[in-house]
């Protein structure tokens, strides 16, 4: 039996105040507080039992403490897409929803799909990830305020929105400067940063996102990295959709920044520009061609990091 097949996938339902676990090897459920002391106690108790891999949904940051402690204790863990878990539950006919049921479903989901373990992060890497997450939040807030500005006719309301926009844009600028400093001081990932930024289309923001939220880059094969980001084509042959392929799942924040980087690369990166032109010459729709370029871009970057090469411009 392989190491992967022998893993025991412990399902974790994450809430702000507590964590529910389902251990499939014993069939037992357990609840602990979602605080430092309780999580540390669990990790000490579990440490050394290498068969366990803890799997949880992304829960708006409430999973961060558990992930940090599991990583620091050398315990395997993975954060999976919540929508995929819900679809799996429906396919299994599970309509009831409680914390214990959710933990059991996550365990079953993981035992079938065998998610890739997340990388353990240092304190500096967790800080980098937190700033990248905050940047994403600020961009979303700026977009919301810009939409409100278009919809507001009252001059006083407009002035309030404009003041908020200015504040948010200043905060975004401050975080961008902090991220640049973090990249400059990141000795552990210095070579990876150099390789990423050798590719036209990859700037400081996209580098920070890839370093913080895609640490597996350079450690997986091309199919795995494309699937992890959510740019791998999936079959959906049913009814009128025969022969069509879709992308789904993956890490949405990474995919969004990769999309913007790819648009720049289509204009300025010779290899990606040529590939886009090739796809368009074969009558591919623009959206399909862009997604294909995203997939090619991330798989090339993955290969370069894996083989320790910078992007060749010629």
pLDDT at 2 over 50: no
Look at 313 and 273; give whichever has higher pLDDT.
Answer: 273
pLDDT at 49 over 90: no
Nearest to 164 by CA among 144, 135, 184: 144
pLDDT at 103 over 50: yes
At 245 the pLDDT is 52
Local confidence band at 121 (pLDDT 50, 70, 90 cut-offs)? confident
Mean pLDDT, range 178-207, rounded to an integer: 94
State how far the Cα of 42 lies from the Cα of 181, in Å rounded to an integer: 36
Look at 127 and 21; give whichever has higher pLDDT.
Answer: 21
At 207 the pLDDT is 96
Q: Across the beta sheet with 76-80, what order do the strands follow? A: 28-33, 18-23, 8-14, 52-57, 76-80
Mean pLDDT, range 286-303, rounded to an integer: 95
Look at 165 and 126; give whichever has higher pLDDT.
Answer: 165
State how far the Cα of 104 lies from the Cα of 83, in Å rounded to an integer: 16
pLDDT at 298 over 70: yes
**Mean pLDDT over the full length of the chain:** 88
Torsion angle of the four alpha carbons 221, 222, 224, 229, in this order, in degrees rounded to the nearest 10: 130
Look at 272 and 82; give whichever has higher pLDDT.
Answer: 272
Q: What SS3 state is found at 11?
A: strand
At 100 the pLDDT is 75
Mean pLDDT, range 172-190, rounded to an integer: 94
Local confidence band at 241 (pLDDT 50, 70, 90 cut-offs)? very low
Mean pLDDT, range 104-113, rounded to an integer: 92
Local confidence band at 95 (pLDDT 50, 70, 90 cut-offs)? low
Mean pLDDT, range 177-188, rounded to an integer: 93
User: pLDDT (tens digit, 9 = 90+) per residue, 251-287?
Assistant: 788 999 999 999 999 999 999 999 999 999 999 999 9
Q: What is the value of pTM for the model shown?
A: 0.74
At 237 the pLDDT is 42
Look at 177 and 93; give whichever has higher pLDDT.
Answer: 177
Instruction: Rank 38-42, 80-84, 97-101 by mean pLDDT and report only the highest.
Output: 38-42
Give the CA count within 13 Å in the CB-facing half-sphere of 52: 22
Local confidence band at 248 (pLDDT 50, 70, 90 cut-offs)? low
Nearest to 295 by CA among 242, 217, 233, 221: 233
Look at 237 and 188; give whichever has higher pLDDT.
Answer: 188
- Percent over 70 (pLDDT), the chain: 91
Q: Which of the residue ranges 17-21, 96-100, 133-137, 281-285 would you say has the lowest mean pLDDT?
A: 96-100
pLDDT at 20 over 50: yes
At 141 the pLDDT is 96
First and final C-alpha spacing in the chain: 47
Structure token pair of residue 125: 């890497």
Torsion angle of the four alpha carbons 254, 255, 261, 263, in this order, in degrees rounded to the nearest 10: -170
pLDDT at 244 over 70: no
Phi and psi, residue 272, nearest 5°: -70, -40
Q: Which of the residue ranges 26-35, 86-95, 130-139, 221-230 would you say has the lowest mean pLDDT?
A: 86-95
């Amino acid at each position: 039996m392989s190491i992967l097949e022998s893993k025991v996938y412990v399902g974790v339902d994450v809430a702000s105040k507590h964590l529910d676990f389902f251990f499939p090897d014993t069939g037992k459920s357990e609840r602990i507080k979602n605080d430092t002391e309780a999580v540390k106690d669990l990790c000490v108790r579990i440490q050394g039992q290498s068969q366990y891999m803890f799997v949880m949904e992304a829960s708006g940051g409430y999973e961060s403490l558990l992930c940090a402690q599991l990583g620091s204790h050398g315990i395997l863990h993975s954060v999976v897409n919540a929508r995929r878990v819900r679809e799996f539950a429906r396919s299994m006919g599970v309509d009831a929803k409680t914390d214990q049921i959710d933990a059991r479903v996550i365990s079953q989901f993981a035992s079938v799909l065998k998610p890739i373990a997340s990388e353990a992060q240092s304190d500096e890497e967790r800080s980098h990830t937190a700033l990248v997450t905050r940047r994403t939040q600020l961009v979303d807030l700026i977009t919301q305020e810009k939409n409100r500005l278009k919809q507001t006719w009252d001059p006083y309301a407009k002035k309030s929105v404009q003041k908020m926009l200015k504040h948010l844009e200043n905060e975004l600028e401050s975080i961008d400067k902090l991220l640049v400093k973090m990249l400059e001081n990141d000795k552990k990932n210095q070579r990876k940063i150099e390789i990423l930024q050798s590719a036209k289309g990859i700037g400081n923001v996209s580098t920070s996102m890839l370093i913080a939220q895609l640490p597996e880059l350079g450690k997986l094969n091309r199919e795995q990295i494309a699937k992890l980001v959510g740019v791998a084509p999936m079959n959906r042959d049913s009814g009128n959709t025969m022969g069509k392929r879709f992308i789904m799942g993956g890490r949405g924040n990474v995919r969004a920044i990769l999309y913007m980087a790819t648009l720049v690369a289509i204009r300025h990166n010779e290899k990606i520009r040529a590939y886009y032109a090739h796809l368009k010459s074969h009558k591919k729709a623009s959206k399909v061609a862009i997604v294909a370029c995203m997939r090619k871009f991330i798989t090339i970057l993955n290969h370069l990091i894996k083989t320790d090469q910078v992007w060749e411009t010629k």
